[in-house]
Structure 1
Amino acid sequence: MKVRMLKRILVPISLAGDGESAFRQALFFRRRLSSRITLLHVIPPSLRLTNVIQTDIDKNLQARAMVRLVRFVKIHFKGKVPDNMELRVEIGQHVSIINEIAKEEKFDLIIINKNEKRHGIADKFRRHSAEKIVGESICPVLTVKHQWTNRGVRDILVPIDIVRKSRDLLKWSIFLGQLMNARIHILAALTVKIDLERSLAYKKANLMKEIIEKEGLECKVSIEVKEAENRLEALVMGAKNKAADLILVQGHQEMIFSDGQTERLHIELLHKSVKPVMFLGVGQENIFTDLLRSGNTNSVTCEKGNLTNAIELNN
């Protein structure tokens, strides 16, 4: 797969005053990369009436929402709508409309706001709309809270899960690092009792560092040593304490061990990180040549809970 230049960006807007951060983040990419932005407002479907009445209601709702959307944009551009910005209003289910448009029209990136919070007990068991978009989108999704990369992307933090192939994560790290002239910071977690330099976390992180530096980028490695702790919780805590303008996280595919922990990592970063987090799309992992499996290999043993597994890693 050829990584696209993030030229087409889809930005869902709620028009309820909580989409400002996502919009401002999109404006950064518009300035930095000359990206074309599509602002999308989705209206929930109403109760079905007769086709004629329903069509009239839908048209009226769309027209009113478009007026508000135009007003929202004009406030930021001195009363004008820029030529490279498209405004759309659709009716349907929020998540499915966003992901369908992104897939069918081949968008390069979705930027969403993540200001919503969970309050009641029932909310703890209800899947967040942002979680659904991240979990189902085939293209990368960038989530922003109150902070956006308005100063530029100078440091990219890349947490790696040692039991997953990281070929696309590596490819995107190099791509974004070169695109933004940014430093790459690889973060891994060691949660078993083993000499650091013999661990898979150390070997994998430093292999990725070597490949990234060969591409002319500055890169450093941090290993969170948290014995007897959950490796993904260790990654979340480590990410919280590291300076970065952007956190890059791989998609759901190509899991060596399918235990659901990657999805939990995504959810934790999605809701707890105050920094922008970019999640690769769910189809990304199947595409690039596996850079970590070319050439000779040797077996490295790691312990995952009570299970010991041999994982191949380049020399």
Structure 2
Amino acid sequence: MKRILVPTDFSEEARNAYQVALAIAHRTGAAIKLLHVVETPYYSPNFSATGDVMVGSNGMEQVYMLRLLESTKEHMNELIRSYPTEGVEVVHEVEVDRPISKIKRTIKDDNVDLVVMGSKGSSGFDEFLIGSNTEKVVRAAECPVLTVKHQHRDFNVREIVLASDFKREVGQAMEKFKMFQELFGARVHLVYINTPGAFESSTNLKQKLEHAAQKYGLQNYTINVYNDTVEEDGILHFAQEVRADLIMMATHGRTGFAHLLSGSIAEDLVNHTQIPVLTLQLK
């Protein structure tokens, strides 16, 4: 792992994510980029983060944007000063753009290995209407995304839940997940959530999970079949029982109308659990 991206809006959750990213960088030697995207109510291409103004912008827009950029850069400098960074390379960028577009471009252009984001979570009607930027990044990013809600003064992962139906090809995700497990020397709990609507024999399911563990060369793991009414609840309940420090899941990144109809367990978990979640979109 060489490059970690931390998008920040300077909220408490974003600061928690930065603190976790620093802990990971200390373990891996990775460099961190802090990114803040200034999004105006109406996206305007007339400004750059350097304060340059393009032809066509009016005086009020100029004053507003220049003051906003100045304030943003002060917040960025304060964030960097707030945490010790000795031994970790930290760079920062402030850009005027649409947040998701800029994050996706940065992941590609900088060859980012991991995104660490804070998440406030959402529920009910607000979630249906707008979702969250973190959820959108989980859906769109081409690298693993670690979402964090709470402060972790000493981020250390001992127990990991890896939830999957193990029916799809998850090999590309498994190598990333193994790397994270080995980074912390953690135990990984493979779990299949058995629901009434898609019930299978526990014996057959355990054989399937054991086959997956052998196929991908997992070490230090347990095999588990957990019964619950729906997959998301089952993952959360199982994670609580084993006192998980991290949940790992692959997502297919559904978008648009299909996403609204079917949803995504991984994205729902990001919204609803208090445990950090590491997701990777399968292509």
Shared fold, TM over 0.5: yes
Match of 1:66 among 55, 73, 78: 73
1:43 counterpart = 2:38: yes
Q: Alignment partner of 2:251: what SS?
A: coil
Alignment correspondent of 2:268: 268
Q: Cα distance, 1:36 vs. partner? A: 0.6
Contact 1:149/1:246, CA 8 A, preserved across alignment: no
Question: Deviations for 1:111-148, whole angstroms, at most 9, x for unmatched residues?
Answer: 110124447x3543322211111101111110001154
Cα shift at 1:91: 0.8
> Which has more radius of gyration?
1
1:10/1:110 contact within 8 Å kept? yes
RMSD: 3.0
After TM superposition, list the pairs within 5 Å mapping 1:1-315 onto structure 2: 5=1, 7-45=2-40, 47=42, 48=44, 50-51=56-57, 53=59, 58-77=65-84, 84-118=89-123, 121-148=125-152, 150-191=154-195, 192=198, 194-197=200-203, 199=204, 201-211=205-215, 214=217, 217-226=219-228, 229-252=229-252, 263-280=263-280, 282=281, 285-286=282-283
Structure 1 position 59, deviation (Å): 4.8
Task: Write the letter of the residue equivalent to 1:196.
Answer: S
Deviation of the 1:247 alpha carbon:
1.3
Query: Gaps (5+ residues) in structure 1?
Result: 287-315
Q: State, as a whole percentage, how many aligned pairs show the same letter.
A: 21
Amino acid at match of 1:238: F
1:18 Cα deviation after fit: 3.8
Q: Give the TM-score, by structure 2 length.
A: 0.81
What CA distance in whole angstroms lies between the structure 1 residues aligned with 2:202 and 2:260? 26
Kept in 1, the 8 Å contact 2:39–2:96? The answer is yes
One-letter code aligned to 1:41: H
Q: How many residues end up aligned between the 2 structures?
A: 266
Sort the Cα spacing of 1:247 and 1:101 in 2 relative to 1 into closer, same or farther, 3 A: same
Higher relative contact order, structure no. (Cα contacts within 8 Å, ≥ 6 residues apart): 2
Q: Runs of 5+ in structure 2 lacking a partner?
A: 47-55
Please, what TM-score do these two structures have when normalized by structure 1? 0.73
Given that residues 209 and 220 in structure 1 are in contact (C-alpha distance below 8 angstroms), is that contact kept between their aligned partners in structure 2? Answer: no
Match of 2:52 in 1: none
Relative to total residues, which structure has the larger helix share, 1 or 2?
A: 2
